[in-house]
Amino acid sequence: MSERILSRKHTELTPELVRHYLNYDPESGILTWRIKYYRAAPGDSTGCSGKDGYLRTMLLGKLYLVHRLAWLHFHGVWPADQLDHINRCRDDNRLCNLREVTDIGNRRNMSKSRSNTSGYPGVQWYKRDSKWQAKIMHNYKSIHLGYFATIEEAIAARKAGELKYWGVNRAD
């Protein structure tokens, strides 16, 4: 193996290196190749969708998530923790749709569960008492917000709980 290839494989990915290989359009969220790279021609978009919906691309022998490369390209630093897609669309890598968050912050913006029957996260029908129940997760603990006669009251309680415990409401 040549020294050139060895040094490329073991090089820490820097913003300058990413900018050498890729262009990023923050308005569209699309990464394109700046130079001919294996089978890709300059101007070709990079990234293919994985089973989880996130776009990935191979760069210098390593697989990267496209939204993390876009962040590095634009901001010049790797995200400190996680990146959240605000609109929950995992292949929408526009800069306005990405934000740095902690694990807890990322979980707050999750889509509602498939088993959710109310249409609103944290609100469910409590069959035993024939009432709507509202709850919220905070610091990895489930907090009961109450039982309510109407779904509207339960949703209002959940929204108030979001403001109280999280300081913000969900992106819904």
140-149 long-range contacts, CB within 8 A, separation 24+? 140/104
Tokens read off for 16 = 């300058």
pLDDT tens-digit readout, 60-105? 889 999 999 999 999 999 998 899 998 889 999 999 999 998 887 7
DSSP annotation of 40: B
Residue from 107, 119, 13, 126 nearest 69 by CA: 13
β-pair partners for 98: 85
Q: Which residues are CB-contacts of 112 (< 8 A; sequence separation ≥ 6)?
A: 119, 120, 121
Q: In the prediction, which pLDDT does 54 show?
A: 94
pLDDT tens for the chain, 172 residues: list them.
333 333 344 457 999 999 999 999 999 999 999 999 888 899 999 989 989 999 999 998 899 999 999 999 999 999 988 999 988 899 999 999 999 988 877 777 777 677 777 888 889 898 899 999 999 988 888 999 999 999 999 999 999 998 898 887 765 5
